[in-house]
Amino acid sequence: MPITIKDIARAAGVSHTTVSRALRDHPALSTQTKAQIKALAAKMGYVPSATARGLKTRRTRAVGVIVSQIDDPFWSEVLEGIETILHPAGYSLFVAATHRDPQREKEVVLAMVQRGVDGVILCAPQFSPEQSRWLSMYGMPMVTVNNEGAGDTPYLVFNDNIYGIRLVTRHLIELGHRRLAFLGNRLGGNTTREREAGLRQEMEASGLAVNESYIQLAPSSTPQGGFVATQSLLSLPEIPTAIACYNDNMAVGVYSALYQAGLHIPQDVSVVGFDDIVVAAYLTPPLTTLRQFKPKLGSDAANMMLRILDARSDSGAPLAPERIELRGELVVRASTAPPRQASFRE
């Protein structure tokens, strides 16, 4: 059985109130008494009860984090940023994945409420507006990272998708590419729409027409999704000379499809990604991509959550709405080069 304050009190021959005060460094006790009781508590293996502490403070010192897929390399880096802020602040994390399943969303929301977490950081693309409203209905503070489907939210940390994809597109145009393809994610919500819009804006600004057959929405943002979408591009009479991908995960599938077709990167087709996950630098050739500052997305969201919780504790008044916008940077590697002169695939 867990050691309690009463167990320590019996062993020390003092009241449980004295033990409680000693463990909280109460000024009414002498330094020697507090040190002796703390040493005894440590020797007996006493661990403070987070539940009991939460009943007194009305805070459990736990924050829920909801992701779509735990194994997604993008969100794992965001989680790292969240943890670097919340752990030193004395918070535990409860992480749950929705797997893009509406029923699972409901179960995750209920689990977070039952856990009594102080707030939720939402890192789940396509998390439905309905489920977000449920969290709000339960009075659960919520910070959203990259808003792909949660509807309007007062607390948001996000990457400027249009700015990022325009950097990528401008890079390809400056290399001489005119036949540019975009592989979006059919489930990507606002993110896919914004990135497609940014590509169109940059091409229009350069006086280039968009070939609508080069705009492909893959069934997912996975390597398999990139592979399937690239096969559609390769079935066209005239293939693109450059492919801009929704994310680096899809670019992995693009590489595979191009190699299977006997095409070389970047000699035959240039490929660019988005996110700069760890694997991007280790592909052959290394992938040109838009680097998102993923740990900063997480740390900014965690700091925002702490400000929300502190405001509720200090005055009971909600924190004023906050939106933090981050801009990525272009990382040029060996997967992009000027196009060959030949217009048609041999």
pLDDT exceeds 90 at position 24: no
- E strand or H helix at 33: helix 31-44
213 vs 317, more confident: 213
- Per-residue model confidence as pLDDT tens digits over 101-138: 888 888 888 888 888 899 999 987 666 677 777 777 77
Report the pLDDT value the prediction gives residue 60, as an integer from 0 to 100: 82
3-state secondary structure of 195: helix
Report the pLDDT value the prediction gives residue 272, as an integer from 0 to 100: 98
DSSP class of residue 183? E
Return the minimum-mean-pLDDT range out of 47-51, 72-76, 338-342: 47-51
pLDDT exceeds 90 at position 53: no
Report the pLDDT value the prediction gives residue 234, as an integer from 0 to 100: 97
Q: pLDDT band for 152, please (50, 70, 90 cuts).
A: low
Name, of 1-10, 35-44, 125-134, 262-271, the range with top average pLDDT.
262-271
- Per-residue model confidence as pLDDT tens digits over 289-345: 999 999 999 999 999 999 999 998 777 778 899 999 999 999 999 999 999 864 444
The phi and psi torsions of 248 (rounded to 5 degrees) equal -70, -30
- The three-point CA angle 25-27-32 to 5° equals 70
Report the pLDDT value the prediction gives residue 179, as an integer from 0 to 100: 97
Return the minimum-mean-pLDDT range out of 27-36, 86-95, 175-184, 313-322: 313-322
Domains of the chain: 5-48 (no CATH), 61-153+294-327 (3.40.50.2300), 161-292 (3.40.50.2300)
The predicted model scores a pTM of 0.80
- Per-residue model confidence as pLDDT tens digits over 153-183: 889 999 999 999 999 999 999 999 999 999 9
